[in-house]
Amino acid sequence: MTAASRTTTEVTHYHIQKKRRAAFVEEWRNYQKTVVALSDVELQETARGSRIGVYCSEDGDRPTRTMDALVHEFDQGVVTTIHRHSWDAMVFCVAGRGWTEIDGERIEWGPGDSLHVPAWAWHRSGNDNAETARYLTFSSEPMLSTMGMAVLDDRGHTPVADLPGRPDFSAEVDGADPYARRMRRLAKEQAKRRSGRLHTDWDGLELLPTPRGTRTTFLLDRAIGYEASGITMAMFEIGPNRGQSMHRHPGEAWLYVVEGEGHSYLGEEPEGGKNYPWKKGDLIVVDHFLWHQHFNDSPDKTAKVVRIHMFDSLLETMRVLMDPRVLFEEPPDHIRDAQAGNYHEIRWPEVVRPTWP
């Protein structure tokens, strides 16, 4: 018989873990950037046929752990390769007109439109017009990658009819045992995920005033029929020389500036933080549980900002982890109202499609 092997290290588990954790935190602090300027995003030609630039992603120099943000451009006549992946992607169109095909369904889009690309759905995009088309994508790829479940499958220009469908799943079964209950639960979840809405047309948006001094609308959210696996997207508009009331929450908030210019206050306390200027095309990254407030610096024009949260997955999970702390905190009503001002007096302009640049 051979002697039992023994695993030993020169340093204790305690010291290795302490050093590893400290190095990890320091590395990610160095990646943090509050505003990613449009001018910092370099577009590069890709094998898909489009140009892609990185706002935040491990595929650029600004890695993240929950979401990524990319920009894509398509010249006239371009049709990208068809691919699918194990994560969801949200699309916000900012320039030109094009189309995206999702599992064979072709959706025409223009500036301000939003789309949801479900996990494992085959998709490609194209541009039949003279003007260059551009959209942004926000996806949960970093979260899936963290769990070792990020899978990308590119099939070039294979016809949709020759491609396999989304992964199969077992149907619901009767029974009260744990396995039967799991099969029913997962079957219902997959059926729901595969029946959600895919497109929000800008022309159908209605922005409504709120007590926070802005007017807002959902772009992609379960409240309006989407069945995404985590990301929710909304848009808010700030009146001239106005500010949105201060608030904070666990989990990041990403904000893409559609129109206008202004600045955002971010700090660990309601006072004593920093102001960060932003303009059209920039991405604002609000880190976890920071007090923040967004201001429009124009005296005569509104500012429009698209806000992206990882709410339906990350924050829902954090609900039990953070309890009894709330997932959304703002000052008492009298302070909030003073910050927002009388929002009923704001003369909101007609909602028109965004322009580029």
By the 10 Å C-beta count (0-12 exposed, 13-18 middle, 19+ buried), 251 is classed as buried
Query: What token pair was written down for 224?
Result: 């309006």
Query: What token pair was written down for 198?
Result: 């895919």
Q: What is the dihedral of CA 211, 214, 218, 222, to 10 degrees?
A: -30
Distance CA 300, CA 315 (A): 36
Reduced to 3 states (helix: H, G, I; strand: E, B; else coil), residue 136 is: strand
Residue 192 C-alpha from the chain's centroid: 21
Give the model's pLDDT for residue 98.
Answer: 97
Sign of CA dihedral 318, 85, 136, 285: positive
Give the model's pLDDT for residue 251.
Answer: 75
Give the model's pLDDT for residue 5.
Answer: 66
DSSP 197-225: --EE-GGG---EE-TTSEEEEEEE-GGGT
Burial 169-189 (b: 16+ CB within 10 A, else e): eeeeeeeeeeeeeebbeeeee
Give the model's pLDDT for residue 135.
Answer: 98
**Residue ranges, CATH 2.60.120.10, the chain:** 35-164, 199-345
Give the model's pLDDT for residue 6.
Answer: 66
CA distances from 143 to 87, 230, 287 (A): 9, 10, 16
Q: Which CATH superfamily is domain 199-345 in?
A: Jelly Rolls (2.60.120.10)
Give the model's pLDDT for residue 118.
Answer: 95
Query: What token pair was written down for 140?
Result: 């949960």
Q: CATH class for domain 35-164?
A: mainly beta
Distance CA 240, CA 262 (A): 10
Give the model's pLDDT for residue 324.
Answer: 67
Length, in residues, of the chain: 357
Residue 162: CB partners within 8 Å, gap ≥ 6?
none
Report pTM. Answer: 0.88
Give the model's pLDDT for residue 284.
Answer: 96
Mean pLDDT by 10 residues, the chain (357 residues): 60 79 71 88 96 94 85 97 96 98 97 97 97 96 90 97 95 96 96 94 94 92 88 94 88 92 94 95 91 95 92 58 69 75 80 90
DSSP 277-304: EEETT-EEEE-TT-EEEEEE--SS--EE
Phi, psi of 136 (to 5 degrees): -105, 150
Give the model's pLDDT for residue 114.
Answer: 98
Give the model's pLDDT for residue 188.
Answer: 95
DSSP classification of residue 38: G
Contact present, 264 and 244 (Cβ < 8 Å): no
Measured from the Cβ of residue 227, the count of other Cβ atoms closer than 10 Å reads 18
Residue type, 202: W
